[in-house]
Homo-oligomer: A and B are copies of this chain.
């Protein structure tokens, strides 16, 4: 099977054990993750060949990040080494009404200072069938945006499916260009995007025009009108009952109709970070293997729900577990 390629920053994640706060911690658990690499990780865990492209510092922290993703089975041969530091983020896990908290320390990472010329996309993408990026990369630096732009172009040239979680994070856009200057060009090269109403307004200035009952459908229609390459737009919805309990569902629009998944309740959250990336990986898996939009959505929601019970950013839910949840069985019956 041809591989899926993802591109984006990977950060070290440092979090106190259990429900401890950082001011209480004598040790921090170390994992690694990134919105795009988590997709590659989850796919590799499900047996889909996946390669991730990024840049790491050439020291212990960069090597540890490579090792971490290699362990899951992600092909890390295209990683470039150089620069000074690995981006980090610190997380505390909440419970009940106490929120989980994330403190970023990612400025000036090796990824932010990458040189777009370091990546030979024709070589990287030659055996690929899918390229996935997110709105975080173009937010980080001019050069990261540029590398993303080039990757999308090559992917388009090679006829590879391009997907993106457009994911606007206001705080990240610090290098002098605005999201509205940079993103439209990149979105134009996509076949599939994850994009909610808020993102559409922030990134594309598109708001519901009243043509459909659902604001999101209206927005999606306008996006598709503006970006003819886009074939499907996805939206995910999280119901926040407490830090320990959430619900998940998703919607897909193919230009004609809106498809809705079931809503899955997660009754005990272990680690919600990466839940969206697990959705994306599940959706890509669905597109590649299940080839049915309703099933893909359902698989993606099940995968995302299960991710909330897995420690670390990467979804290590097994195929049979996802399939069980996808069929509506949330009983978690012991497997011998």
A311 at interface by CB-CB < 8 Å: yes
* Bound: A199/B101 CA distance, A: 40
Could you list some 12 contacts between A and B, CB below 8 A?
A14-B28, A20-B311, A24-B316, A60-B101, A71-B71, A96-B266, A96-B308, A97-B266, A97-B267, A243-B309, A243-B333, A244-B268
A18 at interface by CB-CB < 8 Å: yes
Selected from B64, B97, B324, the residue in CB contact (under 8 A) with A23 is B64
**One of A84-92, A130-138, A289-297 contacting the partner:** A84-92
B241 touches A331 (CB 8 A): yes
Beyond A28-B28, A240-B331, A244-B268, is A103–B71 a contact (Cβ under 8 Å)?
A: no
Give the contacts of A22-69 with B (CB-CB under 8 A).
22-31, 59-61, 63-64, 67-68
Q: Mark A303-336, 1 if CB is under 8 A from B, else 0.
A: 0011011111000110001001100011111111
Beyond A242-B331, A332-B100, is A105–B90 a contact (Cβ under 8 Å)?
A: no
Size bin of chain A's contact surface: 35 or more
A330 touches B272 (CB 8 A): no
Beyond A67-B71, A104-B336, is A96–B267 a contact (Cβ under 8 Å)?
A: yes
A269 at interface by CB-CB < 8 Å: yes
Which of A99, A100, A266, A267 has the most C-beta atoms of chain B within 10 angstroms of its own C-beta? A99
A102 at interface by CB-CB < 8 Å: yes
B98 touches A317 (CB 8 A): yes
Selected from B19, B100, B334, the residue in CB contact (under 8 A) with A100 is B334
A90 touches B332 (CB 8 A): no
**Least Cβ–Cβ distance between A190 and chain B, in angstroms:** 25
B24 touches A332 (CB 8 A): no
A8 at interface by CB-CB < 8 Å: no
Beyond A20-B311, A94-B309, A270-B19, is A64–B335 a contact (Cβ under 8 Å)?
A: no
Selected from B24, B70, B240, B330, the residue in CB contact (under 8 A) with A333 is B240
A222 at interface by CB-CB < 8 Å: no
* Bound: A23/B58 CA distance, A: 13
